[in-house]
C-alpha cells in the first residue's frame, strides 16, 4: 500500500503552495510597478497638454487682437480653473485641470497690434513644474 501511494505521488507532481504564492507575489509586484508608471505617464500628458493649451490660447488672443485691431484681455480664474479671452467680438473659455496651478497670468492684455508685456508663466502640478517666458509680437510668441 505504501508503495502504491509513493507511485501516485511521484506520478502527479505539482507546484507546492509556497512556490505558487511566490510566483503570485512576483506577478502582482510587476503589475503594481506597471500601473504606477502608467499613472505617472498620464499625469505627464495632462500637464504637458495644459501647457500647450494655455500657450495656444495666448497665441489665439494675440492673433485676434492683431487681425481685428481690438485689445484682448486674458482673464485667469484660479478658483474655477479657467482662462477666458475677451475682446474683438470674441469670448472663449478654456478649462484647466484642477490639479495644475498657474502663476503670472492675471489680467493679461494684448494691445490692438497684438503686443504684450513680457512675462513668465509658471505651471506646477502633479509633482512637475515648468516656467515659460513669453512676449507676443505681431500675433506670434517671440522665441
Cα torsion 9, 13, 17, 19: sign: positive
Is the pTM above the cut of 0.75? no
Domain 39-141 annotated CATH 3.40.50.300: no
Could you give the CA distance from residue 143 to residue 132 in angstroms, rounded to a whole number?
A: 10
- Segment 107-122, tens digit of pLDDT: 678 888 878 888 888 9
Q: How far apart are the first and last CA of the chain?
A: 89
Could you give the CA distance from residue 11 to residue 46 in angstroms, rounded to a whole number?
A: 57
| Residue-level pLDDT at 119 | 83
**Residues of the chain above pLDDT 70, percent:** 84
| pLDDT band at residue 52 under the 50/70/90 scheme | very high
| pLDDT band at residue 6 under the 50/70/90 scheme | low
| Residue-level pLDDT at 10 | 60
Q: What is the mean pLDDT of residues 46-74?
A: 88
Q: What is the mean pLDDT of residues 47-66?
A: 88
Where are the chain's structural domains? 39-141
The DSSP result for 10-24, as a single string, is: HHS----HHHHHHHH
| Residue-level pLDDT at 60 | 83
| Residue-level pLDDT at 64 | 82
| Residue-level pLDDT at 142 | 54
Q: Are strands 136-137 and 140-141 parallel, antiparallel or unpaired?
A: antiparallel
CA dihedral 4, 5, 6, 8 (to 10 degrees): 90
Amino acid at each position: 500500500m505504501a508503495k502504491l501511494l509513493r507511485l501516485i505521488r511521484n506520478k502527479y507532481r505539482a507546484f507546492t503552495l509556497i512556490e505558487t504564492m511566490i510566483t503570485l507575489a512576483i506577478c502582482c509586484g510587476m503589475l503594481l510597478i506597471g500601473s504606477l508608471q502608467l499613472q505617472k505617464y498620464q499625469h505627464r500628458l495632462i500637464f504637458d497638454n495644459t501647457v500647450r493649451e494655455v500657450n495656444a490660447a495666448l497665441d489665439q488672443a494675440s492673433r485676434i487682437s492683431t487681425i481685428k485691431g481690438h485689445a484682448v484681455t486674458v482673464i485667469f480664474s484660479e478658483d474655477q480653473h479657467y482662462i477666458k479671452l475677451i475682446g474683438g467680438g470674441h469670448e472663449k473659455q478654456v478649462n484647466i485641470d484642477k490639479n495644475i496651478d498657474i502663476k503670472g497670468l492675471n489680467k493679461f492684455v494684448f494691445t490692438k497690434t497684438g503686443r504684450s508685456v513680457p512675462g513668465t508663466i509658471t505651471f506646477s502640478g502633479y509633482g512637475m513644474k515648468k516656467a515659460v517666458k513669453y512676449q507676443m509680437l505681431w500675433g506670434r510668441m517671440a522665441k
